[in-house]
Amino acid sequence: MIRYVQTCGGDKETTSTTPFDVPLPLTRKDLGRWLKAQGYQRGAEVGVEQGKFAEVLCRAGLELLCVDPWRAWPDYRTHLDQAEWDRLMAVACERLAPYPAKIVRATSVEAAQDVPDDSLDFVYIDGKHDWESVELDIVVWREKVRDGGMICGHDWNLGSVKQGFYRVFTGPPLQVTVADRSPSWMVRA
């Protein structure tokens, strides 16, 4: 019989005969609680905007690195000027103030340089959605997630997200939150 071992920060360890004691989440709303129930503690969200999903993760009791440049680009959401990005960041900061959330104003690649490899339990990727960015974000952030952690992301409904995903992974996601209009994907690190 296969025995699965879940570890959480070294001394805490549980064993079970199934890979997950808690059924996989069917909606993104449940994802935070599910990650917490795995014994995960610390993760990152790449692409935070107003901090709405970051708050879902934090409310579940998770510590979060919140990575977003909140920057106006010539080729991305051009209807938003820098003043509007500054406003969105202020909204996120206020929303996340009560939680153990660290705001990092930087691009995915810039922020990853200061995060040690294997130091996170999970990452949730929801930055730029063109396939090149999705691939880059996965490649860079999967290194930050420890073995047995979870690599997740938003918008599995988008062809570009699937394309970026399959540039990195050969098999399908472990789970897609099929009950969401914009499903999230998850892969075991």
Ligand X SMILES: C[S@@+](CC[C@H](N)C(=O)[O-])C[C@H]1O[C@@H](n2cnc3c(N)ncnc32)[C@H](O)[C@@H]1O
Give every CB contact of residue 162 below 8 A, 6+ residues apart in sequence.
156
Between CA 135 and CA 165 the distance in angstroms is 6
Cα 26 from Cα 171, distance rounded (Å):
20
**Nearest distance in Å: CB 112, ligand X:** 9
Q: Is 17 exposed, middle or buried (0-12, 13-18, 19+ CB in 10 A)?
A: exposed
Q: How far is residue 185's CA from residue 107's CA, in Å, rounded to a whole number?
A: 21
CB 111, min distance to ligand X, A = 7
Name the CA radius of gyration of the chain, rounded. 16
* Least gap, CB of 86 to ligand X (angstroms): 11
Complex with ligand X: residue 126 or 180, whichever CB lies closer: 126
Nearer to ligand X, 108 or 175 (CB): 108
Of 107 and 175, CB closest to ligand X: 107
List residues near ligand X by CB under 6 A: 45-49, 52-53, 67-70, 107-108, 126-128
Query: What distance, in Å, lies between the first and last C-alpha atoms of the chain?
Result: 22
* Residue 55 Cβ vs ligand X, minimum distance, rounded to whole Å: 8
Nearest one of 53, 48, 54 to 71, comparing CA atoms: 48
Beta carbon nearer to ligand X, 128 or 144: 128
Min separation Cβ 6 and ligand X, Å: 26
> Minimal CB distance to ligand X: which residue?
47
Question: Please, which residue, 30 or 68, has the CB nearer to ligand X?
Answer: 68
